[in-house]
Structure 1
């Protein structure tokens, strides 16, 4: 959201000459770069309580059963997680497993492509239009 706002302010400043819009856009971009940059990009930690849905049952019609391509059994006892046993190979699985056992909601830093692209485009627009 900050990147999209910075890009909007950049275009506004370029067209209108608004010093306030330019200053605010630069402050947003510099703030993201200085405070939320890591080795993978720019992102903020998120607490995700929705992982509690991993234990939700999956509807399988009565009398149906089978096997997922990864070998997981599909039957009336299947859950979201039981059909995706490969998730257990993730190094961060213990955070989710702990949460499912009653612990605190896990915190992850997601580097989503759309967000990384939006930051890059905002920085590029600022550099191209205002510097």
Structure 2
């Protein structure tokens, strides 16, 4: 039997993090621009067994959701603001532990499966590690 299969865009298993719950550390936090020129933060999370996951967060502080998301993220990591004014460098975030949940979804716009950050919460000292 002959097979003719288009595997365009396929990845080897293990080249992306599996959906699940993870206790991770912040490896990097940087300000960038998206392909379309919009401001974003590239946040790299690292897990000692599963590898890295990069989340691109909206950094346009004109949008309420972006402001609320960043405020919650920094608060969960333990950074304190002074009257909602946060001053920090990437060094203040690197190495901080955090719990995250990743989900796998099909993106209709790109016609690809992607792993997304579904939620995050404070690391309380008890590591979570559960792949779906």
When normalised by structure 1's length, the TM-score is: 0.27
More helix by share: 1
Structure of higher CA gyration radius? 1
When normalised by structure 2's length, the TM-score is: 0.27
More strand by share: 2
